[in-house]
Amino acid sequence: MARPAVILVGADKGGVGKTTVARTLLDYFGAHNTATRAFDTESPRGTLKRFHPAVTEVVDVTSVPDQMKIFDTLGNAAAKVTVIDVRAGLLSPTLQALNDIGFIESAKKGQITFAVFHILGPSIASLQEIAETSQFVGDASYYLVKNHINDTSFFEWDPGTYNSYFKQIKGAEEITIPKLNEMACEQVEVASVPYVSFVANKNAKGEAANYSFVLRGYVRHWLGNVWGEYDRVKLADLVSPKIENNVRQVAG
């Protein structure tokens, strides 16, 4: 059996599209037939849970009972991949907590696959966070995600500053999430369904829906690009070395 994988999706500030990335990850593993569960730390009401209610549980990742719920079940949960959507600003405290309970240590020993998706905001404050988090990540696969989905401006970083932070994490990789048309974005929000369901024209119950074909086309194209990025960094191999890597076609 493949060893369990934990993917932490976090950012130090809100509104950078953390949950969007978590959603694309759930869709991606779904398309690869990899059973996945998710924890949403946006308690008490999680955005991730709204889109993926069947696999998502809302937790407080800093509370001990909830930590037990997540980490004590890693070995025996049916889901091989655990995605944790970490609330804004809690990435460092969460990593600290994981360090304290010895999770980082087990990841180092190779008992658990551990990956961090650090969603970068358009400001330099976000990079400051890298310095803080880098001390905890150990051997985790670290992805710096430039998320363009809901912004039109470019990242205004001085490349020198950026690189100096970037280098602090050994083997960190960059992922770029392209922009999705605002109207398409909005309609998926309104529909409250996973991106793949929207593309396949299905509502939350799996029944035929009536979304605009053009908007579905935009989402399909965008999701294809996002998954292309995940393929590029060989995400599927990371969580389960054997799974096929050719599932690029979204349903429909």
Partner 1 sequence: MPPSRADARAASGKVMSFRYSVTIVASPRPRVGKTLLARLLTDFYIHEGRSVEAFDLNSGEGTLAQFMPEHATASGIADIQGQMALFDKLIADDDTTKVVDLGHESFESFFTLAKQIGFAEEARRRGIAPAILFVITPDRTSVEAYSRLRSRLPQAALTPVHNEILGPAQHRDKYPTTGAGTAPVRLSALAPGLRRYIEKPPFSFSDARLADAKGIPIEVHIELQRWLRKIYLEFRELDLRILLADLQSSIRLQS
Contact positions toward partner 1, by CB under 8 A? 181, 183-184, 207-210, 212-218, 220-221, 252
CB of 92 to partner 1, least distance (A): 39
Q: Which residue type, as a one-letter code, is found at position 171?
A: G
Q: Which residue's CB is nearer to partner 1, number 92 or number 187?
A: 187
CB of 60 to partner 1, least distance (A): 39
Q: Which residue's CB is nearer to partner 1, number 243 or number 247?
A: 247
Q: Which residue's CB is nearer to partner 1, number 98 or number 184?
A: 184
Q: Which residue's CB is nearer to partner 1, number 107 or number 185?
A: 185
Q: How far apart are the C-alpha atoms of 63 and 174, rounded to whole Å?
A: 31
CB of 206 to partner 1, least distance (A): 12
In terms of Cα–Cα distance, which of 220, 216, 174, 228 is closest to 191? 216
Q: Which residue's CB is nearer to partner 1, number 33 or number 212?
A: 212
The residues with which 176 forms a beta bridge, in sequence order, are 146
Q: How far apart are the C-alpha atoms of 74 and 208, rounded to whole Å?
A: 35
Alpha helices by DSSP H, listed for the chain, are 18-31, 47-51, 64-71, 91-100, 103-108, 125-134, 159-166, 182-191, 195-199, 213-232, 235-239
Strand duo 113-120 + 141-147: pairing: parallel
Q: Which residue's CB is nearer to partner 1, number 50 or number 221?
A: 221
* Contact by Cβ (8 Å): 56, 105: no
CB of 236 to partner 1, least distance (A): 23
DSSP designation for 155: P
CB of 220 to partner 1, least distance (A): 6
Provide CB contacts within 8 A for 63, sequence distance 6+.
none
CB of 201 to partner 1, least distance (A): 8
User: Which tokens belong to 109?
Assistant: 């020993």
